[in-house]
Amino acid sequence: MRTALIGYGLGGAAFHAPFIATAPGLELAAVVTGNAERRAEVGARYPGAELIASPDELWARADEFDLAVVTTPNRFHAPHARAALEHGLSAVVDKPFAATAAQARELVDLAASRGLLLAPFHNRRWDGDFRTVARLVGDGELGRVHRFESRFERWRPEVKDSWKESGDPADLGSIVYDLGTHLVDQAIALFGRPTAVYAEVRALRPGAVAHDDAFLALTHTTGAVSHLWASALAAALGPRFRVLGDRTAFVKFGMDPQEEALKAGATPGGPGWGEDDEEHRGLLGEVPVRTSPGAYQDFYAAVAAGQAPVPAADAVAGLEVVEAAFESARTGSVVPLAR
Tell me, what CATH number does 199's domain have?
A: 3.30.360.10
The whole-number pLDDT of residue 337 equals: 96
Whether residue 94 is found in the same domain as residue 192: no
Whether residue 153 is found in the same domain as residue 286: yes
CATH number at residue 41: 3.40.50.720
Whether 151 has a pLDDT exceeding 90, the answer reads yes
Distance, CA of 151 to CA of 215 (rounded, Å): 9
The whole-number pLDDT of residue 338 equals: 84
Whether 275 has a pLDDT exceeding 90, the answer reads yes
Q: How many domains does the chain have?
A: 2
Taking only the tens place, the pLDDT of each residue in 216-267 is 999 999 999 999 999 999 999 999 999 999 999 999 999 999 999 999 999 9
Whether residue 231 is found in the same domain as residue 93: no
Whether residue 149 is found in the same domain as residue 282: yes
The whole-number pLDDT of residue 339 equals: 80
Domain final residue pick, 121, 155, 171:
121
The whole-number pLDDT of residue 248 equals: 98
Domain final residue pick, 121, 148, 164:
121
Taking only the tens place, the pLDDT of each residue in 153-162 is 999 999 998 9
Domain final residue pick, 69, 87, 121:
121
Whether residue 140 is found in the same domain as residue 228: yes
For 177-192, what is the mean pLDDT? 97
Whether residue 57 is found in the same domain as residue 162: no
The whole-number pLDDT of residue 16 equals: 98
The whole-number pLDDT of residue 201 equals: 98
Whether 212 has a pLDDT exceeding 90, the answer reads yes
Whether residue 19 is found in the same domain as residue 68: yes
The whole-number pLDDT of residue 141 equals: 98
Whether residue 147 is found in the same domain as residue 270: yes
Whether residue 266 is found in the same domain as residue 133: yes
The whole-number pLDDT of residue 150 equals: 98
Whether residue 151 is found in the same domain as residue 73: no
Three-state helix/strand/coil letters over the chain:
CEEEEECCCHHHHHHHHHHHHHCCCCEEEEEECCCHHHHHHHHHHCCCCEEECCHHHHHHCHHHCCEEEECCCHHHHHHHHHHHHHCCCEEEEECCCCCCHHHHHHHHHHHHHHCCCEEEECHHHHCHHHHHHHHHHHCCCCCCEEEEEEEEECECCCCCCCHHHCCCHHHCCCCCCCHHHHHHHHHHHHHCCCCEEEEEEECCCCCCCCCCEEEEEEECCCCCEEEEEEECECCCCCCCEEEEECCCEEEECCCCCHHHHHHCCCCCCCCCCCCCCHHHCEEECCEEECCCCCCCHHHHHHHHCCCCCCCHHHHHHHHHHHHHHHHHHHHCCCEECCC
The whole-number pLDDT of residue 246 equals: 97
Taking only the tens place, the pLDDT of each residue in 80-91 is 999 999 999 999
The whole-number pLDDT of residue 270 equals: 85
Quote the domain boundaries for residue 20.
Answer: 2-121
Whether 269 has a pLDDT exceeding 90, the answer reads no
Whether residue 47 is found in the same domain as residue 195: no
Whether residue 251 is found in the same domain as residue 331: yes
